[in-house]
Amino acid sequence: MSLIELGYPSEAEEIQIAKLTTGAAQPMLESLLNVAQILDHQDLVRRVPVPDHLYEFAAKLVRQTRPTGDTAPDWMLPLVAWGAGPRAVQSLILGAKSRAALYGSYMVRREDIVAVAPSVLAHRLVLTFAAQAEKISAREIVTRLVQSN
């Protein structure tokens, strides 16, 4: 659904990870939620309402990532070889619903879609050699696209 980029751990953290995971005793994990609670949370997220104009906004963003259609902005054409597919719209909406629920909002707002767009869309784009040569990342392209809407 989305790509969450985490940096590398510090040297001290890597050493601690190695110590905890390479010994005879394996660490015991404790569940934070049981299956029923997870399903309840998923149901709650799916019930967060989305105004129609935000479905349209999400679809417009995704469609603008596609260089083969007539919706991509001119500046993007030399940078993106392949854009996001229809599942990206679903992921934008579900991500925005999740964010709205986490922030205690009663409905999805534009800012929720904008906030999740880089994580949802960036890994779905195939960049051109020109973008790679200029060291332009997919995340930068998505951020510019969102800012231009």
Burial 70-83 (b: 16+ CB within 10 A, else e): ebbeeebeebbeeb
Identify the pLDDT of residue 125: 95
Residue 68 host element (H or E): none
Whether residue 115 has pLDDT greater than 80: yes
Query: CA of 4: how far to CAs of 56, 116, 122, 123, in Å?
Result: 25, 10, 10, 10
Identify the pLDDT of residue 69: 79
Identify the pLDDT of residue 5: 78
DSSP conformational letter for 23: S
For residue range 65-106, list pLDDT tens digits in order.
999 878 999 999 999 999 999 999 999 999 999 999 999 999
Identify the pLDDT of residue 21: 86
Query: What is the mean pLDDT of the segment spanning 141-148?
Result: 94
CA dist 92 and 117 (Å) reads 6
Identify the pLDDT of residue 128: 94
For residue range 25-80, list pLDDT tens digits in order.
877 889 999 999 999 999 999 999 999 999 999 999 999 999 987 899 999 999 99
Query: What is the mean pLDDT of the segment spanning 122-136?
Result: 93
CA dist 118 and 124 (Å) reads 10
Question: What's phi and psi for 127, nearest 5 deg?
Answer: -85, 155
CA dist 99 and 23 (Å) reads 38
Domain 49-147 CATH (choose: 3.30.420.40, 1.10.8.80, 1.20.1530.20, 3.30.70.330): 1.10.8.80
Domain boundaries, the chain: 49-147
